[in-house]
Chains A and B, each alone.
Chain A
Amino acid sequence: MTDTLRTFGLFALVALLIIGTGVLQSWNSALIILNMGLISAIMSLGVNLQWGYAGLFNVGVMGFVALGGLATVLISVPPVGEAWAAGGLRVLLALVLGAATIVAAVLVRSRMAPGAARGLAMTAVLILGFFIYRAVFDPGVAAIESVNPAATGFLGGLGLPVLLAWPVGGLLAAGAAWLIGKTALGLRSDYLAIATLGIAEIVIAILKNEDWLSRGVKNVSGLPRPVPYEIDLQNDPAFVARAGEMGLDATTASTLYVKTGYSILFAVVLIVLLVLAQLALKSPWGRMMRAIRDNETAARAMGKDVTARHLQVFVLGSAICGVAGAMMTTLDGQLTPGTYQPLRYTFLIWVMVIVGGSGNNFGAVLGGFLIWFLWVQVEPVGQLLMSGITAGMAEDSALRAHLLDSVAHMRLLTMGLVLLLVLRFSPRGLLPER
């Protein structure tokens, strides 16, 4: 009973914090925090699935989130016909050839007897395949990128409804997770950590450099939205009249309306995933996962296929991160590969899971909201604190200017301290696993 009470109390606290922001600052900022909080909660639910259920140490969250973002572009942006005509098929063919090369190398490895001949044959296949791939690939890319580079210069997407991108983002992330899990999962936990850290950097490098796919650092902006545009609402007399009845001007009412629309969509996804995660945890499957986490050898002796189960849960958790990534890009309305940073998209999610309580889904969700709130609000509070500290100093003091400039970096310091304090004094998090 006390557990339920504690959960309830802490979630009430989060609600109070967000409502407090609405009253003290503005409802607009409260909704911004709520929306990103919902997305963060979904991400930490995914990490909790991997770490809390199965003890898998994934520090590549950023990569899966970015893949979700890419899915949004690939699904919702209308196709660029001219670019497809210029080199679309050629690039696709090159990708097929690249995949065929790898398959051929794997076949050589499995068919030939071990020895120097096999090594040479594999190397030859790989090198030859690489050059053929580049010979087909490069002209296609050049053709696509030269099609109106200021506005498009990429293949575009499928022009489908943007909501479809969310499950597809999950699928894309799941595919990547399967590949990485297949290679790195049988190994030690540290190795998985480094491997996932690497795959995340590679995904970001691809998004930044493959302009034909994602426009790279030129960003894709103006993505379609699942909710109406503010300007359309403001031009709708019925909406303006209704806003007037509630005592709001049309501009404020339209931004609040749009943000609330997003909140509802995100909340639906979060609730569905939370229910599923809770059901999974309480099922025989969930008990098996925890048994594997607590004692792999014993679980293996009971006939459980530990590697396969690890792969399964790794793929599922990454898929959830991909869904969250697609949702985030939809919310932003643009894909900006330059803004993905591991501290923000990987390690911050880890702070959420650890602080919230790993192994407890409600804990992960709570951590998502709480840490996101802190991440946003540390800056204004730090600003206040710093102006208090520096109030006594001379106007033109260099130290004062430096301190005021540095407020932005208080965030990282605070997050680190929060993580260290929780690990030290409440290592199982705010809502411990039951």
Chain B
Amino acid sequence: MDFLNAIVALSNFVLIPAIAYGSQLALGALGVTLIYGILRFSNFAHGDTMAFGTMATILVTLAFQAAGLSLGPLPTALLALPFGIAACAALLIATDRVVYRFYRAQRVVPVILVIVSMGVMFVYNGIVRFIIGPDDQRFADGERFIISAREFRNLTGLDEGLALRTTQGITVITAVVVVALLFWFLNHTRTGKSMRAYSDNEDLALLSGINPERVVLYTWLIVAALATVAGTLYGLDKSFKPFTYFQLLLPIFAAAIVGGLGSPLGAIAGGFVIAFSEVMITYAWKKVLGYMLPESLAPDGLVQLLSTDYKFAVSFVILLIVLLFRPTGLFRGKAV
């Protein structure tokens, strides 16, 4: 019985939150890695792109809620998601036309593009705060739990409860659907194949008649979708605050690099590696160990390796370890 209790406590506090967080990071890291593969720079504006897409989704959600539209037990934000993606795509494509295209034509070195993306980051950040303000926004509605801790306890008769929030379930399902669609697109459509070709060898791709502007356009469209979905899921799961989204940049980049920049599979793996280490290292293990160990050995303290405020340190240390021992990442990304 104690063993079951331990597993339930572990799932409730570590596995489920880490899987949900990992899916969100993986979607964010996929966006970063696609931009890196096709456009060949690290996009510092990605966190704020996510914030913008989420903000658009929130505004549409609020409008729907005011109009009385809803999805029943599911959050209304899912209904608003396509509109958020459209708004984000419009912004990204406009930015590409006005800003990035000029530098692409000049074939500047990647680091200049990184600095340009810093300017874009400031502008997006300003726009988001200007429109929705710097405060917390909660926009999750519908049923709160798929199964609540009390229901679970009544159902199984265990001491420990297992709560599965709707947002966590939706996060995982949406992430799986989005990733499946993305890989199908990259591997089975003409445009997806030309994107991969362009990423592997730009000159050869140009020689074979691939239109670079088309590849770039599709990349931004996909990035807009990924960023908005990732941002909305994160916002549903926790809450939306522009500054938090800016800070997500670090774990997202860590995930992309750990997986290998430019490798979509690596981005997903990296997202989960980062999320699991963050949650496991900052979780207080007292409860789980209390069930697992005999009474005489049960720990007195919280058995928390690091306080939750150091979660950035965790992504950072993993990043350093990977950089030192396997600089191209787990999945052999590219090095420019």
Interface residue from A55, A194, A209, A416 paired with B122 (Cβ < 8 Å): A416
Interface residue from B42, B125, B250 paired with A412 (Cβ < 8 Å): B125
Within 8 Å CB of B254, what residues of A? 194, 198
Interface residue from A183, A205, A424 paired with B313 (Cβ < 8 Å): A205
Instruction: Tell whether, in the assembled complex, residue B319 and residue A343 are in contact, meaning their CB atoms are under 8 Å apart.
Output: no
Instruction: Tell whether, in the assembled complex, residue A417 and residue B116 are in contact, meaning their CB atoms are under 8 Å apart.
Output: no
If A189-B111, A416-B121 touch, whether A194 touches B129 (CB-CB below 8 Å) is no
Binary CB contact string for chain A from 43 to 76 against chain B (1 if under 8 A, 0 otherwise): 0000000000001010000000000000000000
B86 within 8 A of A: no
Instruction: Tell whether, in the assembled complex, residue A202 and residue B312 are in contact, meaning their CB atoms are under 8 Å apart.
Output: yes
Instruction: Tell whether, in the assembled complex, residue A417 and residue B313 are in contact, meaning their CB atoms are under 8 Å apart.
Output: no
Instruction: Tell whether, in the assembled complex, residue A419 and residue B118 are in contact, meaning their CB atoms are under 8 Å apart.
Output: yes
Interface residue from B123, B249, B324 paired with A417 (Cβ < 8 Å): B123
Interface residue from A189, A209, A427 paired with B309 (Cβ < 8 Å): A209
- Tell me, in angstroms, the Cα distance from A417 to B42 when the chains sit together: 20
- Tell me, in angstroms, the Cα distance from A415 to B310 when the chains sit together: 30
Within 8 Å CB of A412, what residues of B? 122-123, 125-126, 129
Instruction: Tell whether, in the assembled complex, residue B114 and residue A198 are in contact, meaning their CB atoms are under 8 Å apart.
Output: no
B320 within 8 A of A: yes
A214 to chain B minimum Cβ distance, whole angstroms, is 13
Instruction: Tell whether, in the assembled complex, residue A190 and residue B114 are in contact, meaning their CB atoms are under 8 Å apart.
Output: yes
Within 8 Å CB of A195, what residues of B? 316, 319-320, 323
Instruction: Tell whether, in the assembled complex, residue A413 and residue B253 are in contact, meaning their CB atoms are under 8 Å apart.
Output: no
Within 8 Å CB of A405, what residues of B? 133
- Tell me, in angstroms, the Cα distance from A199 to B124 when the chains sit together: 24
Q: Please classify how large the interface on chain B is, using the bins under 10, 10 to 19, 20 to 34, 35 or more.
A: 35 or more
Instruction: Tell whether, in the assembled complex, residue B323 and residue A184 are in contact, meaning their CB atoms are under 8 Å apart.
Output: yes
A187 within 8 A of B: yes
Q: A183, A187, A202 — which one has the most chain B CB atoms within 10 A of its CB? A: A202
Instruction: Tell whether, in the assembled complex, residue B323 and residue A410 are in contact, meaning their CB atoms are under 8 Å apart.
Output: no
Interface residue from B99, B115, B126, B249 paired with A354 (Cβ < 8 Å): B115
Instruction: Tell whether, in the assembled complex, residue B42 and residue A343 are in contact, meaning their CB atoms are under 8 Å apart.
Output: no
- Tell me, in angstroms, the Cα distance from A424 to B119 when the chains sit together: 11
Q: Which of B298-328 contact A (CB under 8 A)?
A: 301, 305, 307, 309-310, 312-313, 315-316, 319-320, 323-324, 327
A411 within 8 A of B: yes
Instruction: Tell whether, in the assembled complex, residue B115 and residue A423 are in contact, meaning their CB atoms are under 8 Å apart.
Output: yes
- Tell me, in angstroms, the Cα distance from A342 to B305 when the chains sit together: 27
- Tell me, in angstroms, the Cα distance from A183 to B123 when the chains sit together: 33
Binary CB contact string for chain A from 193 to 219 against chain B (1 if under 8 A, 0 otherwise): 111011101100100110000000000
Binary CB contact string for chain A from 337 to 371 against chain B (1 if under 8 A, 0 otherwise): 00001110001001100100000000000000000
Q: Which of B240-289 contact A (CB under 8 A)?
A: 243, 246-247, 249-250, 253-254, 257, 261
Q: Which of B117-141 contact A (CB under 8 A)?
A: 118-127, 129-131, 133-134
Interface residue from A183, A205, A208, A351 paired with B323 (Cβ < 8 Å): A183
The residue on B at minimum CB distance from A130 is B305
Within 8 Å CB of A190, what residues of B? 41-42, 110-111, 114, 261
Within 8 Å CB of B261, what residues of A? 190
Instruction: Tell whether, in the assembled complex, residue B323 and residue A350 are in contact, meaning their CB atoms are under 8 Å apart.
Output: no
A409 within 8 A of B: yes
B297 within 8 A of A: no
A191 within 8 A of B: yes
- Tell me, in angstroms, the Cα distance from A414 to B111 when the chains sit together: 22
B114 to chain A minimum Cβ distance, whole angstroms, is 7
Binary CB contact string for chain B from 10 to 23 against chain A (1 if under 8 A, 0 otherwise): 00000000000000
Within 8 Å CB of A406, what residues of B? 129-131, 133
Within 8 Å CB of B123, what residues of A? 412-413, 416-417, 420
B1 within 8 A of A: no
- Tell me, in angstroms, the Cα distance from A199 to B123 when the chains sit together: 25
Q: Which of A130-171 contact B (CB under 8 A)?
A: 130, 138
- Tell me, in angstroms, the Cα distance from A354 to B112 when the chains sit together: 11
A188 within 8 A of B: yes
Instruction: Tell whether, in the assembled complex, residue B119 and residue A420 are in contact, meaning their CB atoms are under 8 Å apart.
Output: yes
Within 8 Å CB of A138, what residues of B? 301
The residue on B at minimum CB distance from A416 is B122
Instruction: Tell whether, in the assembled complex, residue A413 and residue B130 are in contact, meaning their CB atoms are under 8 Å apart.
Output: yes
A110 to chain B minimum Cβ distance, whole angstroms, is 14
Instruction: Tell whether, in the assembled complex, residue B257 and residue A194 are in contact, meaning their CB atoms are under 8 Å apart.
Output: yes
Q: Which of A395-421 contact B (CB under 8 A)?
A: 405-406, 409-417, 419-420
Instruction: Tell whether, in the assembled complex, residue B126 and residue A411 are in contact, meaning their CB atoms are under 8 Å apart.
Output: yes
Interface residue from A57, A199, A201, A208 paired with B114 (Cβ < 8 Å): A57
- Tell me, in angstroms, the Cα distance from A424 to B36 when the chains sit together: 22
Instruction: Tell whether, in the assembled complex, residue A205 and residue B309 are in contact, meaning their CB atoms are under 8 Å apart.
Output: yes
Within 8 Å CB of B112, what residues of A? 423, 427
The residue on B at minimum CB distance from A403 is B130
- Tell me, in angstroms, the Cα distance from A415 to B124 when the chains sit together: 11
Q: A189, A208, A412 — which one has the most chain B CB atoms within 10 A of its CB? A: A412
B145 within 8 A of A: no
- Tell me, in angstroms, the Cα distance from A57 to B112 when the chains sit together: 10
Within 8 Å CB of A419, what residues of B? 115, 118-119, 122
Interface residue from A205, A347, A351, A423 paired with B310 (Cβ < 8 Å): A205
B335 within 8 A of A: yes
B102 within 8 A of A: yes
Binary CB contact string for chain B from 36 to 74 against chain A (1 if under 8 A, 0 otherwise): 000001100000000000000000000000000000000
Instruction: Tell whether, in the assembled complex, residue A191 and residue B316 are in contact, meaning their CB atoms are under 8 Å apart.
Output: no
Within 8 Å CB of B312, what residues of A? 198, 201-202, 205
Within 8 Å CB of B99, what residues of A? 420, 424
B336 within 8 A of A: yes
Interface residue from B111, B133, B310 paired with A209 (Cβ < 8 Å): B310
Instruction: Tell whether, in the assembled complex, residue A416 and residue B133 are in contact, meaning their CB atoms are under 8 Å apart.
Output: no
If A190-B42, A205-B313, A409-B129 touch, whether A423 touches B122 (CB-CB below 8 Å) is no
Within 8 Å CB of A191, what residues of B? 257, 323, 327
Instruction: Tell whether, in the assembled complex, residue B126 and residue A350 are in contact, meaning their CB atoms are under 8 Å apart.
Output: no
Within 8 Å CB of B120, what residues of A? 416, 420
CB-based closest 3 A-B pairs: A416-B122, A413-B126, A416-B123
Apart from A412-B126, A420-B119, list 20 A-B contacts with CB within 8 A. Answer: A57-B111, A183-B323, A189-B110, A190-B42, A190-B110, A191-B257, A191-B323, A193-B42, A194-B42, A194-B257, A195-B316, A198-B315, A205-B313, A208-B309, A342-B246, A343-B122, A354-B115, A416-B123, A416-B126, A423-B112
Contact sample, A vs B, 15 pairs, CB 8 Å cutoff? A183-B324, A190-B114, A191-B323, A197-B250, A202-B316, A341-B243, A342-B246, A350-B118, A409-B129, A413-B122, A413-B130, A417-B119, A420-B99, A420-B120, A424-B99
